[in-house]
Amino acid sequence: MKLGVFGGTFDPIHHGHLVIALAAVEQLSLDRVVFVPAKRSPLKSDAPVAGEADRLAMLERAIAGEPRFECSRAELEGNAPSYTVDTLEALSAKGTLFLILGGDAVRDLDRWKDPERIRRLATIVVARRPGSEATAGEFVLLDTPLMDVSSRDLRARAARGRSLRYLVPDSVWRYIKDRDLYKVTASTAS
Ligand code: ATP
Say whether the peptide bond before residue 12 is cis (omega within 30 degrees of 0): yes
C-alpha distances in angstroms, 58 versus 35, 38, 68, 156, 177? 12, 14, 17, 17, 12
- Asked whether residue 123 is assigned to any structural domain, the reply reads yes
**Percent of the chain whose predicted confidence (pLDDT) is above 70:** 95
Tell how far the Cα of 8 is from the centroid of ligand 1, in angstroms: 7
Closest Cα partner for 16 from 104, 76, 75? 104
Q: What pLDDT, on the 0 to 100 scale, is given for residue 46? A: 86
- Asked whether residue 85 is assigned to any structural domain, the reply reads yes
- Asked whether residue 114 is assigned to any structural domain, the reply reads yes
Q: What pLDDT, on the 0 to 100 scale, is given for residue 138? A: 87
Q: How far, in Å, CA of 106 to CA of 87, rounded?
A: 17
Give the amino acid at 93. A
Rounded average pLDDT over 20-39: 97
Instruction: Pick from 33, 100, 129 the residue to mutate for probing ligand 1's pocket: most ligand atoms within 8 Å of its CB.
Output: 129
pLDDT tens, position by position, 153-170? 999 999 999 999 999 999
Question: Can you tell me whether residue 96 is helix, strand or coil?
Answer: strand
- Asked whether residue 165 is assigned to any structural domain, the reply reads yes
Closest Cα partner for 36 from 94, 87, 89? 87
Closest Cα partner for 172 from 7, 15, 48? 15
Q: What pLDDT, on the 0 to 100 scale, is given for residue 131? A: 86
- Asked whether residue 68 is assigned to any structural domain, the reply reads yes
Tell how far the Cα of 32 is from the centroid of ligand 1, in angstroms: 19
Whether the predicted pLDDT of 79 surpasses 90: no
Q: What pLDDT, on the 0 to 100 scale, is given for residue 141? A: 95
Q: Is 147 in the pocket of ligand 1 (CB under 6 A)?
A: yes
How many folded domains does the chain comprise? 1
Q: What pLDDT, on the 0 to 100 scale, is given for residue 134? A: 66
- Asked whether residue 117 is assigned to any structural domain, the reply reads yes
Domain containing 155 — which CATH number?
3.40.50.620
- Asked whether residue 148 is assigned to any structural domain, the reply reads yes
CA-6 nearest atom, ligand 1: 15
- Asked whether residue 190 is assigned to any structural domain, the reply reads no
Average of per-residue pLDDT values in the chain: 93
Q: How far, in Å, CA of 106 to CA of 139, rounded?
A: 9
Whether the predicted pLDDT of 68 surpasses 80: yes
Whether the predicted pLDDT of 42 surpasses 90: no
Q: Is 101 in the pocket of ligand 1 (CB under 6 A)?
A: yes
Q: Is 56 in the pocket of ligand 1 (CB under 6 A)?
A: no
Q: Which long-range contacts (CB under 8 A, 24 or more apart) does 171-175 make?
A: 171/61, 171/62, 171/64, 172/12, 172/13, 172/14, 172/58, 172/61, 172/62, 175/54, 175/57, 175/58, 175/61
Q: How confident is the model at residue 105 (pLDDT cuts 50, 70, 90)?
A: very high
Provide the domain limits for residue 16: 2-181
Q: How confident is the model at residue 189 (pLDDT cuts 50, 70, 90)?
A: very low
